[in-house]
Chains A and B, each alone.
Chain A
Amino acid sequence: MKALIQDDTERRIVLRAVDLWKSYDEGTVAVLKGVDIGCFEGRAVALCGPSGCGKSTLLHLFAGLDFPDQGKVWVNGAEIKRGSNLLRLLRHEVGFVFQLHNLIPDLTLAENCLIPTVAAGTDRRTAKTRLMELAERTGLTHRLDHRIQKLSGGERQRTALCRALMNRPKILLADEPTGSLDEQSSSAVFDLLLDLVATEGTTLLMATHDRSLALRCDRLVEMHDGKIREHAYAR
């Protein structure tokens, strides 16, 4: 941990959790057991570990979708707790990509991507410019008016990535973003993900099972049984 801080002395910590505890089913299923973690601005951090170790829960807590039983969470310097301005968090601070793309099937690719801009009240022209920019970078320009059902798995996940980045969030949380894709698509989507966060200066915290992908991030955090086991530089 000391080495990490030394290396990132110029960078700000944008995601931080201290002594996080979280359990489900009235405390009978403990998922997080005193997690401490910090992510530096602009870094790509992979969160590895077996299923059920608490990776998704940790991401949900950072997105304000759930709250810890104990401990504190800060996103971009602001503590996330009940009563916080979660709308601002979800509209401007954080973008979320799921393992299952979670797109609305009856809408077109473009309409799905524009949903966060509708929520944030972004003016139409700005939203459209941003959409075109992201569509071009993800190679989806020719698919903008296509419905989600007509897209391949990789295209759907790239659409989900575009949607998450529409409002230029400072942080991207990705929960197994390539988990439902074949190896080739998975690699392509992951390359795109890394490229996008790097060029946009976005901080990435990504849960994944795939160690080969995780090793391509700036940092790898190993989780096991609700605890952080190991921090390591991946590259």
Chain B
Amino acid sequence: MIFLKLIVTNLRRHRIRSLISVAGIAFSVAAMLTVVTILQGAIGMFSSILSNDSEIIVFERDVSDLFFSNVPADAAERISSWPMVAHANPVLFGIVSSAGHPIITCFGVTPADARIEKATWLLGDRNKFAQHEDDVVLGERAAQFLSAALGSYVPIGHATFHVVGIVKTANGFEDGGVFMPLASAQSFFHKEGTSSVITVKLRNKDDAVTFKAMVKAQYPNLIALDDAEFTRSYSQFRILKATAWAVGGCGLLLGGLGVANTMIMSVFMRIREVAILRVNGFSHVQIGGVIFGESAVVSLSGAMAGLLVGSCFLYALKMIPALDGYVDTSLHPLLMMVVLLLALLTGVAGALYPAIYAMRIRAVEALRFE
């Protein structure tokens, strides 16, 4: 009890300084939580586009970005004829722009694609998709920001398209995207005879290994990965994740420096008190425990406050209609644990030098210190 009081006493003695340190950690944690959650949400959404009613993705080997992947159209036809395959759909990804909207995701798909087949059609008839070259189906949000209605013509990129349907999907990228017939998309993006990926659903998931081996044998320049493998290994996702953690880590580092500053000041300002504890039998470990205890209280308080601030901020982002579907605000317990642990480690690291300094204080000299 007294040990705890020794820890808390000093924080209460310098309330403003302690609060600033707590705030430093809190904002660092909130920043890390927000950035990582948003990026993980984005990655999850992009993954879900690829894994829509499929479990394996086939794309060009060693390609840095799926937008640059070229998969021959005949590969999709041949793969779909393999006995273990339930269906294989080629999808072409592209980015187009429209007035006031520099980035609109475009999906070149076949009428059999799950995005068309299983979407909630708000307006239009799914059977009419791909009857004409200039047919497009818009996601609900895309229809809103393009001010498009069923049957209207909308300018997209260098062409004008006829809106034959408006669909609602849970995925922000799809909901803000444009679906074109595959052939039209190939022509629009000058990628005739190719798709970006083939999404494959197997009759039996146990055949995945055989399927991958067959792809490797018959199409050496292509690679087949199941969804989880793809999410783990896709270089863009890895870069995004690394960036998110690096940004969050920098935030925490700054917070840690704040804690270090607080703890150094804390030790310097009570050298005499540390000496009193030494004379009364406190060991180096007990002295270090008081200092580390202080930093742990600061870090954990900051981390808890940061989780609260971060959650509120994510919730506020979710409330913004333009971001609806793009921001996944669900906080994963593992992420929260990792962030808490990192905040605690940051605090401990920040207290390392002050603790060592305190442990080395020589009582006889410190007692002369005024």
A→B interface (CB under 8 Å): 60, 63, 65-66, 87, 90-91, 96, 98, 102-104, 106-107, 111, 114-116, 118-120, 163, 167
Contacts and interface: CB of A to CB of B under 8 A. Distances in A.
B156 interface: no
Contact of B281 (A106, A111, A120): A120
Given A103-B276, A106-B10, A118-B2, 9 more contacts: A65-B279, A107-B5, A115-B282, A116-B281, A118-B282, A119-B283, A119-B286, A163-B280, A167-B281
A20 to B, nearest CB: 15
A115 B364 contact: no
B207 interface: no
Interface string B1-12: 011011001101
Contacts, number: 57
Given A102-B272, A106-B9, A106-B12, A119 B280 contact: yes
Contacts of B3: 118
B9 A107 contact: yes
A90 B5 contact: no
B2 A107 contact: yes
B273 A104 contact: yes
Nearest to B366: A65
B9 to A, nearest CB: 4
The 9 closest A-B pairs by CB, nearest first: A119-B281, A91-B281, A65-B364, A90-B281, A106-B9, A116-B280, A66-B364, A119-B282, A115-B280
A29 B272 CA distance: 24
A96 to B, nearest CB: 5
Interface residues on B, range: 20 to 34
Interface in B1-31: 2-3, 5-6, 9-10, 12-13
Contacts of A65: 279, 362-364
A107 B12 CA distance: 12
Contacts of B367: 98, 102
Interface of B: 2-3, 5-6, 9-10, 12-13, 272-273, 276-283, 286, 362-364, 367
A66 B367 CA distance: 12
A66 B272 CA distance: 16
Contacts of B280: 90, 115-116, 119, 163
A115 B2 contact: yes
A96 B5 CA distance: 23
Contacts of A111: 2, 5
A66 B275 CA distance: 13
10 contacts: A66-B362, A87-B283, A104-B276, A111-B2, A115-B2, A116-B281, A118-B286, A119-B282, A120-B281, A163-B280
B364 A102 contact: no
A96 B367 CA distance: 12
Contacts of B10: 106
A4 B317 CA distance: 86
Contacts of A63: 279
A96 B12 contact: no
A153 to B, nearest CB: 18
A102 B5 CA distance: 18
B207 to A, nearest CB: 64
Contacts of A103: 276
Contacts of A120: 281
A214 to B, nearest CB: 23
A77 to B, nearest CB: 20
Contacts of B273: 104
Contacts of A87: 281, 283
